[in-house]
Structure 1
Amino acid sequence: MGAEGGGRRRALRMAAYAGCGVLLLAGCASMPDSGDLRGVESTPRQNAQVRVFAMPPHENARPAEIVQGFLEALTGDDPQYETARKYLTESASRRWDPDGSTTVLTDGPNAVPEPTGNREAGDEYAFTLTGSKVAVVDAQHAYTPALGDYSGTVHLTMVKKTHQWRIDALPQGVVMGKSDFQRNYMSVNKYYYASNVPTATGGRLSTVADPVYVRSKVDPVTSMVRTLLKGPTRWLAPVATSGFPQGTALRKDVTTLSPDDQNKLTVPLDQRADRVGRSQCTKMAAQLLFTLQDLTPTGVNRVELQGSGGRKLCELNEERAEIIAAHSMAKQPEYEYFIDGKHRLVRLSASGSRDPEPVLGALGETEANLRAAAVSRNEDTAAGVSADGQNLYVASMASGASLGAAVVSQGASPDDRLTTPSWDGGGNLWVADRDRKQPRLLMLRNGAGKPVEVRTPGLDGRIDAVRVAADGVRIALIVEKKGKTSLQIGRVERESGNGGQADVSVLGLRSVTPQWEKVTAMSWAGTSRLVVVGQESGGVLQMRYVQVDGSTPTGNSPASLTGVKQIAASEDERLPLVAYSEDGIVRLSAGAQWQKVVKEGTAPVYPG
């Protein structure tokens, strides 16, 4: 458990040892044994690389001081919470598992003394910790938004042998305020391989990101390797596989991992990896490289895997890893696309160096009369929705290409018909039909043929927008129910069906914007990040980045934009955002302000 608090709460006293580059959290000053015990204030720390260690309990510390010091100790950087354990009895320390979970609160936990049966005798005390929950990080390091009240009890006893107060009972896991969590933890993607997904990437495997949170200053390289070896998180596991044999772990004598002066990381594995073949070993090494690339700035560009006896199993560099698997997008998009004032599909160089031009084929002609479109990830085929939302057409973006047969909605009005379509990394086309009498999620295999109706057993509401990730196993939906809209992430699962075709379902739907009342637009903006337009209850319209686990990534939100109606981002985070607003089609490049592209235009999209 950790803590933070408001400006009225006393600041921690800090003692800096410049020679060691270490900060020590000072113990609390004299505190009362009755009355409210306020949450601990988070102390600003300017140097992100400086590690912070807490002070142990001082002699004859009172019960309130023990609780306060313990909460402060848990905001430090002790690898095994060594200092925090000094506030516990020996038996409580053995039972306490700080890695079991981390509960994140809006503010740090407030501690209030509670009456106990023997309090008058003066040999025991209890304090209740309370707060408003924001999220929970579980034992697999997976983050889940969790609104509601938090309550936990900390019990203290006088240790007879030492005549010192110590905590003898406490909740499992850790609890801390949001700002302490953001300072102590960081989000990192670990990578696995998408399972049961037809691929359009030349037979290469397709990676899928699995975001987790690890302590940022407590050996994050070793932490990430260990959590990668343990396999995908429970939510992702049904649609992802690992190259590592089940149960593989680091060799028992390995306590820490760090790259050498050539930026190579050597990873000694236990006996479960001893018999893997070279092909499987390189898949394992590729997962490690992709994961460590996200853990910047490690500098790792080469990985060597060793067996239990120290024998070299394989070695892999970044270039060869990209041959094994299509990591993120197969290629950087060449163009941005939107519907121009003549209701045709046009394209604009992703570098922004040219004027918009109509795409080749029927969708680029004036007669196309479109309101929305999607372009395949290899940029050779597009799908367009008619201006009235009733028809979906697919056509090659080649000179003279004609429209394919239409997918038709029977919705009563344009708002009750087809959404903007979306292509996955395997070349399949997805679209939602908002017909109130028969709302459906449809998929066209390879963008052609009879649409497959996708099962959505956990869906509670009507789909207003759909975007499928490049990996083909994660799908983002804007779902409307009773006038409110939310952003939900689901898994795309495939099972063998009749005629050799797989039955497709979207399962595991979870809201990643539980505090938002309305979501009006969204787009994938990275391997595990989306850009979202919407508003909280009683708030104003805003644009924000959101992780697929519901957490807020570090860094700045996009610059504000008045009247934004639609948004497009690339999974290549280096490319600019493109939006449709009251100023028309506008673009936002890194480090710049929004710039107008054209006045007459709507429905911007990147390939996908």
Structure 2
Amino acid sequence: MPDRGDVRAVKASPRGDSQVQVEAVPPREGAGPGEVVAGFLEAITSDDANFATARTYLTPEMSKKWRPETGTTVLSKAPDPGPARSGGRDNPGIDVPLLGRQIAEVDAQRAYQAVAPTDYRRTIHLSQYETAGGKAEWRIDNLPPGLVLGASDFQRSHRSVNKYYFAAGRNTVVADPVFIRQRIDPVTRMDPVTQSVKALLDGPTDWLKPVVESPFPEGTALKKGTTSLRFDDRNTLKVPLNKYASGVSRSQCNKMAAQILFTLKDLSATRVDEVQLQRANGGPLCGLRSGQEEAYSPDHSATRAGNQYFVDSKGRLAVLPDDAKGEPDVVLGPLGTGAVPLTLVAVARDESTAAAVSTDHRQLYVASITSDVVQDPPVVQSAGKTPEQRLSAPSWDGRGDLWIADRNPGDPALLRFAGGAGPPRRVVVAGLDGARIESLRVSSDGTRIALLLTDGKKTTLQIGRVERRDDKGDTLVSVADLRPVTPQLETVTAVSWAGPSRLVVVGKEAGGVQQVRYIRTDGSSSPDAVLQGVNSVKSVAASDDPNRPLVAHSEEDGIVRLPAAANWQTVVTEGSSPVYPG
């Protein structure tokens, strides 16, 4: 270290891309079958334009047939080529097996779906192909469709983005998560912003499509030849559309622009102050400034206070203090008196009403929490023999409807109270296959429901689509197309929505310890999603606002809270059932 001389300012070197990038390398002359397969598997992890280098490992015929954009198989680790073997007299050439453990599938719509880890075994076939120089070289002439990537390579090259569509018949948006390339898409050569807008215009994924709609007219796409959307010096994004969008009204166009603004929020490196949509001839359609899209947010009509509620040691509904030194305040009305001791609660999203289950789990009460009123009779009672066989925790959706499950083995039911009032209506759930609904949480947009399903001793988390149809003036509601969210977890004990397409989950893997982790509704998660520092968690609550702290009930520490960039803090030593509105 120098110990004398002047201090001088120097220019720092330009900061490079911190993300690892793979440079694809073509096959060497005379490479054997195993080397060809290994080189191909390495080449498909790159961002090479149209996977040009990866195609040099294929025969010309196979290169023309191969469509990497048709989907991606995600394995827990990079695919492992097994020992090569002769294809035999009826199958000349060499077969090389691809081995691994599959954990997810990504379809042509870019939709990710986690699957229970299963053995993966497919075959790559190679034959000798005569090159232009007259030499016979081993090349791949048959392989599995799409791409096959290990989880680390997939996470390095892809990122999750929420597209947004409107809930059917409503002016509120619904998130539709998909995966795009981190950098330039090898096939379309589009940057992440353009990929996201294109994915939005392509329409909702098949799973969400029955319950959402898009104001973009059918056939709307980016103007032909558009591979990059540029920002001007005022952070305005101009989006040129084709002829199908040219005749839309101003109100319809504003909703279209709002969809784009919501979608681009997930690209944290991209600041969008305004979106301007353009006709095919370059003329303006409409513009929407950042912030105006919030009129279509699922909670735009509710209060933004985001109070945290819990059940205190006397069975009363109370509001958690802002800091650990404050004292909780019980709510107004009968739910704050303790006349009927409570155990499980849910507060309506406008924070004017709450629903609570009695300590024996037999009765459900609904009452105002903003004024002193007389306690009404319970809106429903369960005939289950034990508390575990009676009522679950209730949940409010963004439409003002109240949901609860009666776990009575003799007459199990998912019940919905329109507007939070009786009578209860049964909701048909397709695909339960004998499983019992242990707990539930409905999304703020009312189109999706998270269900904890118990089958024997195992409790799993599944997401269902909430479908509504009109029947002679009456609304019939059902839950369809259940799909697993945490197939890697042996059991799940608690769940809460933590944003438009994210959940916070309490569970554990087979032979593992309890985890509190964030996970997306498609089953994907980031490497840093597991939260440390809290044990024996019984319940958990998160807000749709990512700036609000996570709250949990720990048997060891009481009601604890996790503020941003801080550690868990005990707020109340005695209490249970912490909840945010919803």
Q: Helix, strand or coil: the match of 1:175?
A: strand
1:262 to 1:424, Cα distance in 2 relative to 1, 3 A: same
* Matched ranges for 1:184-583 at <5 A: 184-196=157-169, 205-218=171-184, 219-326=191-298, 330-349=302-321, 354-406=326-378, 407-460=380-433, 461-498=435-472, 500-582=473-555, 583=557
CA contact (8 A) 1:328 1:527 kept: no
Match of 1:115 in 2: 86
Q: Are 1:166 and 2:149 counterparts? A: no
Q: Helix, strand or coil: the match of 1:54?
A: coil
CA contact (8 A) 2:294 2:300 kept: no
Residue-by-residue CA offset, 1:15-52 (whole Å, 9 max, x unaligned): xxxx9999xxxxxxxxxxxxxxxxxxxxxxx812x643
1:351 to 1:138, Cα distance in 2 relative to 1, 3 A: farther
Give 1:55 deviation, angstroms: 1.8
- Further displaced range: 134-143 or 316-325: 316-325
Task: Look up the equivalent residue of 2:214 and give its one-letter code.
Answer: S
Give 1:157 deviation, angstroms: 2.7
Task: Look up the equivalent residue of 2:386 and give its one-letter code.
Answer: S
Task: Look up the equivalent residue of 2:316 and give its one-letter code.
Answer: R
Query: Could you tell me how far apart the structure 1 residues matched to 2:276 and 2:403 are?
Result: 40
Aligned to 2:103, which of 126, 134, 151? 134
* Matched ranges for 1:56-205 at <5 A: 56-112=26-82, 113-117=84-88, 124-146=93-115, 147-162=117-132, 163=135, 164-196=137-169, 205=171
Query: Could you tell me how far apart the structure 1 residues matched to 2:548 and 2:232 are?
Result: 33
Query: Could you tell me how far apart the structure 2 residues matched to 1:373 and 1:173 are?
Result: 47
Match of 2:6 in 1: none
Task: Look up the equivalent residue of 2:310 and give its one-letter code.
Answer: F
Show structure 1 runs of 4+ deviating over 6 A. Answer: 19-22
- Further displaced range: 549-558 or 206-215: 549-558
Give 1:168 deviation, angstroms: 2.1
Query: Could you tell me how far apart the structure 1 residues matched to 2:234 and 2:29 are?
Result: 48
Residue-by-residue CA offset, 1:394-434 (whole Å, 9 max, x unaligned): 11112312223311111111111111100000111001111
CA contact (8 A) 1:344 1:369 kept: yes
Query: Could you tell me how far apart the structure 1 residues matched to 2:299 and 2:364 are?
Result: 30
Query: Could you tell me how far apart the structure 2 residues matched to 1:435 and 1:554 are?
Result: 39
Task: Look up the equivalent residue of 1:575 and give its one-letter code.
Answer: R
Residue-by-residue CA offset, 1:242-296 (whole Å, 9 max, x unaligned): 1211221111121222323322211111111121111111111110110011122
Query: Could you tell me how far apart the structure 2 residues matched to 1:563 and 1:369 are?
Result: 24
Give 1:353 deviation, angstroms: 7.3
1:175 to 1:331, Cα distance in 2 relative to 1, 3 A: farther
1:382 to 1:21, Cα distance in 2 relative to 1, 3 A: closer
Query: Could you tell me how far apart the structure 2 residues matched to 1:52 and 1:290 are?
Result: 32
Query: Could you tell me how far apart the structure 2 residues matched to 1:405 and 1:447 are?
Result: 14
Query: Could you tell me how far apart the structure 2 residues matched to 1:128 and 1:328 are?
Result: 53
- Further displaced range: 206-215 or 60-69: 60-69
Residue-by-residue CA offset, 1:298-322 (whole Å, 9 max, x unaligned): 1122111112222211111112222
CA contact (8 A) 2:298 2:398 kept: no
Query: Could you tell me how far apart the structure 2 residues matched to 1:444 and 1:119 are?
Result: 65
Runs of 5+ unmatched residues, structure 1: 1-18, 23-45, 198-204
CA contact (8 A) 1:259 1:266 kept: yes
Task: Give aligned-pair identity as a percent.
Answer: 50
Task: Look up the equivalent residue of 1:132 and give its one-letter code.
Answer: R
Give 1:118 deviation, angstroms: 6.7
Query: Could you tell me how far apart the structure 1 residues matched to 2:337 and 2:522 are?
Result: 41
Cα RMSD after superposing both structures: 2.1
Give 1:453 deviation, angstroms: 0.7
- Further displaced range: 545-554 or 566-575: 545-554
Query: Could you tell me how far apart the structure 2 residues matched to 1:236 and 1:479 are?
Result: 21
Match of 2:3 in 1: none
CA contact (8 A) 1:207 1:328 kept: no
Query: Could you tell me how far apart the structure 1 residues matched to 2:244 and 2:139 are?
Result: 42
Q: Helix, strand or coil: the match of 1:368?
A: coil
CA contact (8 A) 1:207 1:327 kept: no
1:350 to 1:304, Cα distance in 2 relative to 1, 3 A: farther
Query: Could you tell me how far apart the structure 2 residues matched to 1:403 and 1:385 are?
Result: 13
1:384 to 1:326, Cα distance in 2 relative to 1, 3 A: closer
Match of 2:7 in 1: none
CA contact (8 A) 2:430 2:482 kept: no
1:144 to 1:576, Cα distance in 2 relative to 1, 3 A: same
CA contact (8 A) 1:336 1:606 kept: yes
Residue-by-residue CA offset, 1:95-148 (whole Å, 9 max, x unaligned): 10001110011111111212123799xx94331212110110010111112232
Give the structure-2-normalised TM-score. Answer: 0.91
Task: Look up the equivalent residue of 2:78 and give its one-letter code.
Answer: G
Query: Could you tell me how far apart the structure 2 residues matched to 1:118 and 1:72 are?
Result: 30
Runs of 5+ unmatched residues, structure 2: 1-12, 185-190
CA contact (8 A) 2:357 2:365 kept: yes
CA contact (8 A) 1:187 1:553 kept: no
CA contact (8 A) 1:332 1:572 kept: no
1:350 to 1:297, Cα distance in 2 relative to 1, 3 A: farther
Query: Could you tell me how far apart the structure 2 residues matched to 1:260 and 1:137 are?
Result: 34
Task: Look up the equivalent residue of 2:453 and give its one-letter code.
Answer: V
Aligned to 1:47, which of 11, 18, 32? 18
CA contact (8 A) 1:333 1:606 kept: no
CA contact (8 A) 1:361 1:400 kept: yes
CA contact (8 A) 1:119 1:125 kept: no
1:546 to 1:328, Cα distance in 2 relative to 1, 3 A: farther
Q: Helix, strand or coil: the match of 2:490?
A: strand
CA contact (8 A) 1:543 1:560 kept: no
Query: Could you tell me how far apart the structure 1 residues matched to 2:463 and 2:300 are?
Result: 18
Give 1:235 deviation, angstroms: 0.5
Residue-by-residue CA offset, 1:211-232 (whole Å, 9 max, x unaligned): 1111112221121111111111
CA contact (8 A) 1:196 1:494 kept: no
Task: Look up the equivalent residue of 1:63 and give its one-letter code.
Answer: P
Q: Helix, strand or coil: the match of 1:290?
A: helix
1:58 to 1:477, Cα distance in 2 relative to 1, 3 A: same
Query: Could you tell me how far apart the structure 1 residues matched to 2:578 and 2:296 are?
Result: 32
Query: Could you tell me how far apart the structure 2 residues matched to 1:264 and 1:353 are?
Result: 46
Q: Helix, strand or coil: the match of 1:225?
A: helix
Task: Look up the equivalent residue of 1:455 and give its one-letter code.
Answer: V
Q: Helix, strand or coil: the match of 1:455?
A: strand
Query: Could you tell me how far apart the structure 2 residues matched to 1:425 and 1:468 are?
Result: 8
Give the length in aligned residue pairs.
Answer: 556
